[in-house]
Amino acid sequence: MLRVRENLIFLSLFFAIVMAPFSAWAYDLEKLCGTGEWETECNQLSEEECQNLCNQCLDYLNQKGAQVQQEISETSQKKQTLQNQIATLNKKIKDLNYQISQSNLSIKSLGFQIEDTEKSMTQTSKEIDEQREKVAEILRAVQKEDKKDFLEIMVASNTVSQFFDNMIYLETLSAKNREALLNLQDLEDSLKSKKVSLEEETDELKNLIIIQGIKKEENAKTKQEREYYLGLTEKEYQAKLQEKQEIDKQAAEISKRLFELVGVKEEGIEFGEAVKIAKNVEKITGVRAAFLLAIIHQESYNNGKFGGNVGQCYVTNFTTGAGTDLKGNSKQRVMSPSNISLFLKITKELGMDPTKTPVSCWMPLYSRGVPYGWGGAMGPAQFIPSTWELYREKVSAITGRPANPWNVNDAFLAAGLLLRDNGAAQNEFRAAMRYFSGGSWTAQEEFYGRSVVARADEYQKDINILEQAGSL
């Protein structure tokens, strides 16, 4: 018995030592997943092996991301020193790099899903064509038999048995026709369902690319902040820290951003003006002003102004949805044809030239060389025409005049109403995600919601200082 146990132990050790290099594809996950080398490796693998590698990397990065977040939290709780500040920033950069790698992997994985869905749609379309041909063939046979009158059938039948055989043949044809039509209906329903799935998958891919851009922007900003702190001594850092604390207490520094409302500016509005509008919307909708500001910031903030970028394209072809950018360069897919009639209605009611009214451009997205997705979002709140149509009358009922998505006051109000309907009073994160991606979203897309909520907290600090100083 002892000998058997020793043999079992030996075999266990053998497999643990010899087979270890073959586990997890024998990959160095830190090297592959953490640096982006997985994509080069993926190109050398079969599609199935590449998908497996992507899944392993996603699991690895999720674990590493959670670990780094815990380290950031622990470091932040320690005494605030220059060394800890730099350590925190380094961890944040590391975490963002992991998240960017996760985005790349998710984009790759979603690309596989889209390709599989497209292949399935192609196969279903082929089966539909085959089924239609089968139905046509049956109908031709039925029509041929129906053209024979009763006497002709009797004469052609040598016996009564043969006559009844002909009748049974006709009945069989009818049954097969019913079956073929039912199969055809099932296939067409399946194709419709797959088309919906493809639209959802492509929307998710578009959102992932947007999120990735936000992460890269934050990563660059964090690196810049780290470089600044690396240039300081501990004494300088503590002095800067004290200086910042003093500045935060002085409402006058923020009050400089305030000025009297002088109507709607095409180039956007500065912080003080935006706060006043957001506070008015808060009274009407109950949506926290700081949260609304964070949403508008995410949608159209540019050059230090809210609504500073309401679109870089014009629609010029009202059949295809193509257009130009602000410099006159040709651009495709500026607006979905399904939204164009509403866009024309909106601009006509407001007396605006639709060919000179800015909207968002199309973000170039392709699947197997085929473009998908559209631009066409309007104004500071970036509503597409169909969404604006849902809130146009609600805004007008409050303002007492025609609603204008390019009017900053109307845009803020419409966004507040939408956020209220999305449940912002109960859960701001969820309301932000619904604003961004509708009723469902992926873990990768949640970065948008977290980014908005974090920015809202920063804006709230500024608003509190203004309120304490009596500037609002």
338: enclosing H helix or E strand: helix 337-349
Q: What is the pLDDT of residue 271?
A: 87
For the chain, domain boundaries: 25-230, 265-468
- Note whether 311 and 266 are within 8 A (CB): no
For the ranges 125-134, 217-226, 406-415, 416-425, the lowest mean pLDDT is seen at 125-134
- Do 25-230 and 265-468 have matching folds? no
Q: What is the pLDDT of residue 367?
A: 65
> Percent of the chain beyond pLDDT 70?
68
Confidence grade of residue 115 (pLDDT, cut at 50, 70, 90): confident
Provide the terminal-to-terminal Cα distance of the chain, rounded to the nearest Å. 86
For residue range 373-409, list pLDDT tens digits in order: 889 999 999 999 999 999 999 999 888 889 999 999 9
For the ranges 137-146, 345-354, 445-454, the lowest mean pLDDT is seen at 137-146
- Note whether 355 and 388 are within 8 A (CB): no
Q: What is the mean pLDDT of residues 133-142?
A: 70
Residues forming beta bridges with residue 443, ordered by sequence position: none
Dist. CA 211–CA 217, nearest whole Å = 10
Contact partners, residue 322, CB within 8 Å, separation at least 6: 315, 316, 330, 331, 332, 333, 334
- Using alpha carbons, select from 93, 99, 59, 92 the residue that is nearest to residue 76: 92
Hunting for tokens 């003006």 — which residue is that? 273
Secondary-structure breakdown of the chain: helix, strand, coil percentages, each rounded to the nearest 5 = 70, 5, 25
- Note whether 310 and 302 are within 8 A (CB): no
Q: What is the mean pLDDT of residues 272-284?
A: 90
For residue range 42-63, list pLDDT tens digits in order: 778 877 777 777 777 767 776 7
Residues forming beta bridges with residue 367, ordered by sequence position: 370
For the ranges 100-114, 178-192, 217-231, 252-266, the lowest mean pLDDT is seen at 252-266
Query: Which residue has better confidence, 147 or 406?
Result: 406
Q: Does the pLDDT of residue 183 top 90, yes or no?
A: no
Q: Can you give the pTM of this predicted structure?
A: 0.52
- Note whether 235 and 243 are within 8 A (CB): no
Q: What is the pLDDT of residue 336?
A: 93
Query: Which residue has better confidence, 66 or 165?
Result: 66
**Cβ atoms within 10 A of the Cβ of 203, count?**
17
Q: Does the pLDDT of residue 321 top 90, yes or no?
A: yes
Instruction: Give the class (CATH, top level) of 265-468.
Output: mainly alpha
- Note whether 109 and 204 are within 8 A (CB): no
194-202 CB contacts, 8 Å cutoff, 24+ apart:
194/117, 194/120, 194/121, 194/124, 195/121, 197/117, 198/114, 198/117, 198/118, 198/121, 201/110, 201/113, 201/114, 201/117, 202/114, 202/365, 202/367, 202/372, 202/373
Query: Which residue has better confidence, 204 or 273?
Result: 273
Q: What is the mean pLDDT of residues 224-242?
A: 72
Query: Which residue has better confidence, 267 or 414?
Result: 414
Q: What is the pLDDT of residue 314?
A: 94
* CATH tag for 25-230 (out of 1.10.287, 1.20.120, 3.30.70, 1.10.3470): 1.10.287
- Note whether 421 and 439 are within 8 A (CB): no
Q: What is the pLDDT of residue 185?
A: 77
What's the order of all strands across the beta sheet hosting 323-325?
A: 313-315, 323-325, 330-331
For the ranges 134-143, 246-255, 304-313, 384-393, the lowest mean pLDDT is seen at 246-255
Confidence grade of residue 333 (pLDDT, cut at 50, 70, 90): very high
- Using alpha carbons, select from 58, 430, 24, 465 the residue that is nearest to residue 272: 465
Q: Determine the 3-state secondary structure of 183 from DSSP.
A: helix
Q: Does the pLDDT of residue 320 top 90, yes or no?
A: yes
**Cβ atoms within 10 A of the Cβ of 358, count?**
18
For the ranges 228-232, 259-263, 326-330, 367-371, the lowest mean pLDDT is seen at 259-263
